[in-house]
Amino acid sequence: MKKKCWIVLCVVFMLSVAAGCGSKSMETMSDFASGESSMNAAIENEDYKNEGEIAAEEGITSENGLDGQVAAGRKLIRTVYLSLQTTEFDSVLSNLSEKTAELGGYIENSSVSGHSYYYNNTRYASYTIRIPTAELNQFVDVVSEIGNVTQKNESVEDVTLQYVDVESRKKALETEQERLMELLSSAENMEDLLAIESKLSEVRYELENYGSQLRMLDNQIDYSTVNVDVDEVERITETGEKSFFAEIKDRFGDSLYQVGRGIRSFVIGFLGSLPIIFVWVVIAAVVVIVVRSIRKKRKKKKE
């Protein structure tokens, strides 16, 4: 009878120990799950709040979209396109490089090309320049002075909502990462440890992704993009509205210029082709002499 009592007591003790460990494990996993759900809720709540705050500011409403007057503190990406004509091609390219370096910018991409030798000797250059946003207006003014601007376009993209959204998600994930680190330090079995480490890896990957997005946006916001096309020309195209007689005068001048260019091209082409013409004249003369000599010999034989 005593032996049976001892057996029953041992079984009861083992069951109580197992129940205690199980409840502790379930408590840890419950904390982990509740922490995860709370972080997700925090992300959604913070996104909703930030979007509401930004939308309430001047410049963005559900009716008018982006307002023409840019509000201070917004995250803006500015892009400018300029097309230039110049008769001093090398000087313009040199000035572009110098002014870019002077204002703290850099040339992201550049290409210089020339047309075919047989048609024209004018050249063409294309530049993609990154300029600090604070110096953008000054740079555009300088570029407009060193060449004749035939086209100018500017666009502004407001990425404030996108920036705030990414930033808030990143902060929420950082909070979740701290919570997971606390749970990791208190985990007492291998199953909980592996689950927490798996979730921690996902959070760290998302943090790196959001951090990369913020760095890219910061670069685009801090450094505006200026695309510059430079055409080498012989005559500058005058821009602006002209009167009736002024337009007739310009058309007449253009016609005279084209006639002069045609005569010039003919003379240059003729004089430049003299060596080739000389060779063909010599060949023709030799052929004529040979043919005549053959005919003379045939006449003598007939006689």
Mean pLDDT of the chain: 76
What pLDDT does residue 134 have? Answer: 93
* Whether CATH 3.30.1120 fits 76-160+221-235: no
pLDDT confidence tier of residue 118, bands split at 50, 70 and 90: very low
pLDDT score for 267: 79
Q: What is the pLDDT of residues 187-205, one digit of tens each?
A: 788 888 888 888 999 999 9
pLDDT top residue among 221 and 4: 221
User: Residue 207 in contact with residue 172, Cβ under 8 Å?
Assistant: no
Indicate the helix (H) or strand (E) that contains 136: helix 136-146
- Tell me, what amino acid is at 144? S
Kindly give the pairing relationship between strand 123-132 and strand 148-158. Answer: unpaired
Average pLDDT over residues 28-32: 45
Q: What is the pLDDT of residue 192?
A: 82
132 SS3 class: strand
**What is the pLDDT at residue 261?**
67
Percent of the chain whose pLDDT exceeds 90: 39
Averaged pLDDT for residues 132-141: 94
Query: Could you give the CA distance from residue 260 to residue 35 in angstroms, rounded to a whole number?
Result: 83
Report for 38-42, 182-186, 214-218: range of highest mean pLDDT: 214-218
What is the model's pLDDT at position 193? 86
Share of the chain above pLDDT 70, in %: 67
Q: Which of 45-49, 243-247, 252-256 has the lowest mean pLDDT?
A: 45-49
Q: Tens of pLDDT along 79-112?
A: 999 999 998 899 999 999 999 999 999 999 999 9
Q: Quick: pLDDT tens for 35-44.
A: 444 445 444 4
Contacts (Cβ under 8 Å, ≥6 apart) of 91 = 146
Q: Does position 57 have pLDDT exceeding 60, yes or no?
A: no
pLDDT at 170 over 90: yes
Q: What DSSP line would sit under 58-84, residue for residue?
A: TTEETTTEE-SSPPTT--EEEEEEEEE
pTM of the predicted structure, to 2 decimals: 0.59
pLDDT of residue 3: 44
CA distance readout (Å), 188 to 24, 183, 184, 194, 203: 9, 10, 9, 11, 22
Residue 144 has pLDDT above 50, yes or no: yes
Domain ranges of the chain: 76-160+221-235, 162-218
* Interacting residues of 139 by C-beta distance below 8 A, sequence separation 6+: 99, 100, 103, 105, 129, 131, 226
CA atoms within 13 A on the CB side of 221: 15
- Of 43-52, 201-210, 237-246, give the range with the top mean pLDDT: 201-210
